[in-house]
């Protein structure tokens, strides 16, 4: 780790020991002390004959020798100044459909594309319609839905409708409910949207899924209630798809900070955020400045909504939260597993900014 790091050329054993709380003697440890030496030092710390040396001592960082402080700060500043950075490709946009009688017909293709997840940084992504997240499918309770999927991937695939109560023949699990969709084939799913199944759902590959989904074969599937009054009202909404893996490590809607999209609201608005975790890890999403009111989990309205500022979202889970945009400013919004969000090089990955604009105080309006 030390040798790969351009900023911290020599993170000495002394610093590591200091961080471990053995600062009193740690300062005397020279660079290069291996595990055996560290064990020896730790043992000497617990030796009663050292007497008053056992008292906690101020940690003495010799930063000039170890860290280029200004260089580190400059990298952090450059990342923030670049936000929101422009990249090619934007996923999660509404998918158009055609009506065939009373059936809404959607068309998807699964394609391999070069996906720019940060400015100038690309990865081979597996996508629906060339984007990750795939385009958003949005329907209403009681609709009839048909989806054509053409597989242009080098592997078989299948689509699972995660959270939707579909007939089992349409559930999208190869060999359990259907044959795999081979490369070059087109397959059609058709199912009704059940009443009572409103909320935030997903669609994704269910074949070689740890690879195919994390590479990008995923998307949002929103079911609107037939009666809009059946769910809490809001002024605007955002979807935040969490992913970890090949798409730049950690991503929000297929991008890593500073290429993530900001969430923008006017002061006084109620903002609905739909979280979807398509990754392989949990991600506790933390919004600065204002609490989140959790109103639904996996599409189901909670009998008792609750407030939090950090919401842990496990793989496969969806949550709907409402944020009252009461506090003007630029609020950090990030995964609180901090190595999903920041390094000594600055913020990256699962970080965005929640912007609350205050029209009444022009001078305080953040320039995003």
CB of 351 to Cu ion, least distance (A): 10
Q: Are 337 and 313 in contact (CB under 8 A)?
A: no
Residue 66: which residues within 8 A CB-CB, separation 6 or more? Answer: 8, 9, 10, 11, 12, 15
One character per residue 246-285, x = contact with Cu ion (rule: CB under 5 A): -------------------------------------x--
- Alpha-carbon gap, residue 322 to 142, rounded angstroms: 26
- Alpha-carbon gap, residue 308 to 292, rounded angstroms: 5
CB of 285 to Cu ion, least distance (A): 8
Identity of the residue, 231 or 288, whose beta carbon is nearer to Cu ion in the bound complex: 288
Identity of the residue, 191 or 333, whose beta carbon is nearer to Cu ion in the bound complex: 333
Identity of the residue, 206 or 318, whose beta carbon is nearer to Cu ion in the bound complex: 318
- The reply to whether 42 sits near Cu ion by the rule CB under 5 A is no
- Sign of the alpha-carbon dihedral angle for 51, 52, 58, 60: negative
CB of 335 to Cu ion, least distance (A): 3
What is the footprint of Cu ion within residues 339-358 (CB under 5 A)? 340
Site size toward Cu ion (CB under 5 A) is 4
* 21-26 LR contacts (CB < 8 Å, sep 24+): 23/56, 23/57, 23/58, 23/59, 23/60, 24/53, 24/54, 24/55, 24/56, 24/57, 25/50, 25/53
Identity of the residue, 104 or 283, whose beta carbon is nearer to Cu ion in the bound complex: 283
CB of 218 to Cu ion, least distance (A): 16
Q: What angle do CA 336, 284, 214 make, to 5 degrees?
A: 100
What is the footprint of Cu ion within residues 283-302 (CB under 5 A)? 283
Identity of the residue, 293 or 337, whose beta carbon is nearer to Cu ion in the bound complex: 337
What is the footprint of Cu ion within residues 313-342 (CB under 5 A)? 335, 337, 340
CB of 193 to Cu ion, least distance (A): 31
Identity of the residue, 15 or 239, whose beta carbon is nearer to Cu ion in the bound complex: 239
CB of 251 to Cu ion, least distance (A): 10
Q: Are 284 and 313 in contact (CB under 8 A)?
A: yes
H-helix or E-strand containing 323? strand 318-324
Binding residues for Cu ion (CB under 5 A): 283, 335, 337, 340
């Amino acid at each position: 780790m030390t040798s790969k790091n351009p900023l911290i050329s020599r993170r000495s054993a002394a610093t590591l020991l200091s961080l471990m709380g053995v600062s009193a003697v740690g300062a005397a440890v020279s660079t290069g002390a291996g595990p055996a030496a560290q064990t020896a030092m730790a043992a000497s710390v617990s030796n009663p004959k050292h007497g008053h040396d056992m008292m906690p001592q101020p940690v003495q960082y010799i930063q000039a020798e170890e860290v280029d402080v200004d260089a580190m700060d400059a990298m952090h500043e450059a990342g923030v100044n670049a936000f929101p950075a422009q990249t090619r490709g934007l996923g999660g946009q509404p998918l158009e459909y055609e009506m065939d009688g009373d059936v809404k017909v959607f068309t998807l293709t699964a394609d391999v594309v070069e996906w720019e997840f940060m400015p100038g940084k690309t990865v081979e992504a597996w996508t629906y319609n060339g984007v990750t997240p795939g385009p958003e499918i949005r329907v209403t309770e009681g609709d009839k839905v048909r989806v054509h999927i053409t597989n242009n991937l080098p592997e078989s695939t299948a689509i699972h409708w995660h959270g939707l109560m579909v007939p089992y023949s349409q559930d999208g699990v190869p060999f359990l409910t259907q044959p795999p969709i081979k490369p070059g084939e087109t397959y059609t799913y058709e199912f009704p949207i059940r009443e009572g199944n409103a909320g935030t759902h997903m669609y994704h590959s269910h074949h070689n899924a740890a690879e195919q989904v994390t590479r990008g074969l995923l998307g949002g599937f929103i079911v609107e209630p037939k009666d809009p009054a059946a769910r809490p009202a809001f002024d605007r909404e955002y979807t935040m798809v969490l992913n970890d893996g090949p798409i730049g490590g950690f991503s929000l809607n297929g991008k890593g900070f500073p290429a993530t999209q900001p969430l923008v609201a006017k002061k006084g608005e109620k903002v609905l955020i739909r979280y979807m975790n398509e990754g392989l890890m949990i991600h506790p999403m933390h919004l600065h400045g204002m609490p989140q009111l959790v109103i639904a989990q996996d599409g189901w309205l909670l009998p008792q909504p609750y407030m939090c500022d950090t919401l842990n979202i496990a793989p496969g889970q969806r949550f709907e939260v409402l944020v009252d945009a009461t506090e003007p400013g630029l609020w950090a919004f990030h995964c609180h597993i901090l190595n999903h969000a920041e390094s000594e090089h600055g913020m990256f990955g699962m970080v965005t900014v929640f912007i609350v604009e205050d029209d009444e105080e022009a001078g305080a309006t953040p320039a995003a």
